[in-house]
Amino acid sequence: MRGRRLRDISKRVVITGVGPVTSVGIGKEPYWESLVKGRSGSKRINFHGFDMDQYNTKIAAPIEHFNLSDYVIETKRSKHLGRTSRFAIAGTMLALKDADLRVELNEERSKEGQYYLGELDSFKVGVILGIGVENMDLMEMYHEKFIEHRGPKRLSPFGLPHIYMSSIASNVADRFGLRGSTYTVSSACASGTHAIINAYRQIQGGAEDIVATGGVDACITPYVFGGFVALRAMSTRNDDPMGASRPFDAQRDGFVMAEGSGILILERLEHALARNASIYAELIGYGMTADAYHITEPDPQGRSLIRAIKLALKSAGLSPREINYINPHGTSTLLNDAVETLAIKKAMGKWAYHIPISSTKSITGHTMGAAGGVETVATALTIQREMIHPTINYEFPDPECDLDYVPNEPRRVAVKTAMSISAGFGGVNSVIIMRQFEGI
């Protein structure tokens, strides 16, 4: 492999822990097993108090039987948390433990359920999360109360602080006593990948040794779901929920909305080696662009996505031939899948036809702002386990989508270098490249 290797070990960044919270599994082993076996998380849903006949789409990929108390101590403060914050905290706890970081209860703040990370310098551990929308379950609930009672008299003083998008990263930082850079990134469905890129750059710049990063979202609420119904962006294959998400298939008719989080522990390589941490993969490059074309539709020529892919290759010091796997955005929408395929072909040239490509969303559904995190976890596990999960529900080839999408069955491949692509409303594109860790 001729990819550029940084001489300065302090500039190298690795993934040492993962914490997926998804409809198909919580924690890396249940999640990975579902990916490899192609188990869909899609099902029919019902909004309490709403007439579902109003919704043309009646399917989603919700996380059922989720309890925050399974992951951290619940306190009186926990009742004010929104669902997005709960997923973020659970995913972070899973990722911290997976990274073999010592998570202990803070005796001084045990009543508040705060933890701390052993002997680590808390000012050198940050939280950078990608989020599509704020805690929408709280937003909708408190707005309903405001309208019902014609004013603020029945509103909780804890409501507004927990609705803010920034509160989600702050909730994580507070729960684990992390005092490094803490903020959220919001760029629609590219949010998770943008957050990872920010964390990567933050560590390279020396601000942190460790950053808990990735994406989190809980959008399956009456208003947000209804908004996407109005946009006609989601599948209406209501009688076949598990077959509804079918990226790159000729009969795709929209995405399946999902929820969850994909949290990763990014760490300065020197710091990871000093504590003898296990390493999933090393981040080596990224690219970011904007279409500047339309608020929802991608540029049909894919020009900015092509550039983002090329920028990622350039920053990693790689040629297209050195990419062994691509985890695409792969939403199962008519436009996205065709444009993304075109962009991959334009950016990678003839080599595009030799690269296995598989869409995690075919299995998990579209986790919105969490997608970049959820899919980076999948990509890191692909490198570690030398197995590519399938794109399920691929039945009818589309002439516009003519690449190798690893249809329906997993494939054992020694993946040395992989690319993950994310794109979002407003034409925001983000691409990261990671490789198998090969020592210093």
When comparing pLDDT for 135 and 8, which is higher? Answer: 135
pLDDT in tens, 139-184: 888 888 888 888 888 888 887 878 888 999 999 999 999 999 999 9
User: Which member of 162, 366, 389, 401 is catalytic?
Assistant: 366
How much of the chain, in percent, has pLDDT values that exceed 70? 98
CB atoms within 10 A of CB 423: 32
Please report the pLDDT score of residue 19 as a whole number: 98
Q: Determine the Cα–Cα distance for residues 88 and 263; give it in Å rounded to an integer.
A: 7
Half-sphere exposure (Cβ direction) of 70: Cα atoms closer than 13 Å = 11
pLDDT at 284 over 50: yes
Indicate the angle between helix axes 83-98 and 166-176, nearest 10 degrees: 40
Bridging pattern class, strands 417-424 and 325-327: parallel
pLDDT of residue 160: 82
Q: Is 381 exposed, middle or buried, given 0-12, 13-18 or 19+ CB atoms closer than 10 A?
A: buried
Q: Tens of pLDDT along 86-125?
A: 999 999 999 999 999 999 999 999 999 999 999 899 999 9
* Torsion angle, alpha carbons of 339, 360, 24, 234, to 10: 0
Query: Would you place residue 5 in the very low, low, confident or very high pLDDT band (cuts 50, 70, 90)?
Result: low
Mark whether 189 is an active-site residue.
yes
- Confidence at 311, pLDDT banded by 50, 70, 90: very high
In the CATH hierarchy, which fold is given to the domain comprising 9-274?
Peroxisomal Thiolase; Chain A, domain 1 (3.40.47)
pLDDT in tens, 356-381: 999 999 999 999 999 999 999 999 99
Confidence band for 322, pLDDT divided at 50, 70 and 90: very high
Q: How confident is the model at residue 6 (pLDDT cuts 50, 70, 90)?
A: low
Find out whether 157 and 393 touch, Cβ atoms under 8 Å.
no
**From the candidates 162, 271, 329, 389, which is the catalytic residue?**
329
Q: 3 pLDDT exceeds 70?
A: no
Q: For the chain, which residues make up each domain, given as ranges?
A: 9-274, 285-435
Q: pLDDT tens for residues 206-255?
A: 999 999 999 999 999 999 999 999 999 999 999 999 999 999 999 999 99
Average pLDDT, the chain: 95
**Active-site annotation holder among 189, 194, 271, 401:** 189
The better pLDDT of the pair 407, 158 is held by: 407
Q: What is the pLDDT of residue 153?
A: 83
Q: Provide the percentage of residues in the chain whose pLDDT is more than 90.
A: 87
Would residue 143 show up in a list of annotated catalytic residues for this protein? no
For domain 285-435, say whether CATH 1.50.10.20 is its number.
no
Region 40-66: what's the mean pLDDT?
Answer: 95
pLDDT at 7: 59
Whether 366 is a known active-site residue: answer yes
Q: Does residue 413 contact residue 406 with C-beta atoms inside 8 Å? A: no
115-134: pLDDT as tens digits: 999 989 999 999 999 999 98
Q: Do domains 9-274 and 285-435 have the same CATH topology?
A: yes
pLDDT at 438: 92
Residue 325: closest CA among 230, 432, 224, 423 = 432
Rank 1-10, 142-151, 315-324 by mean pLDDT and report only the highest: 315-324
Question: Partners of 216 in the beta sheet?
Answer: 131, 261
pLDDT of residue 1: 44
Give the tens place of pLDDT for each residue, 290-305.
999 999 999 999 999 9
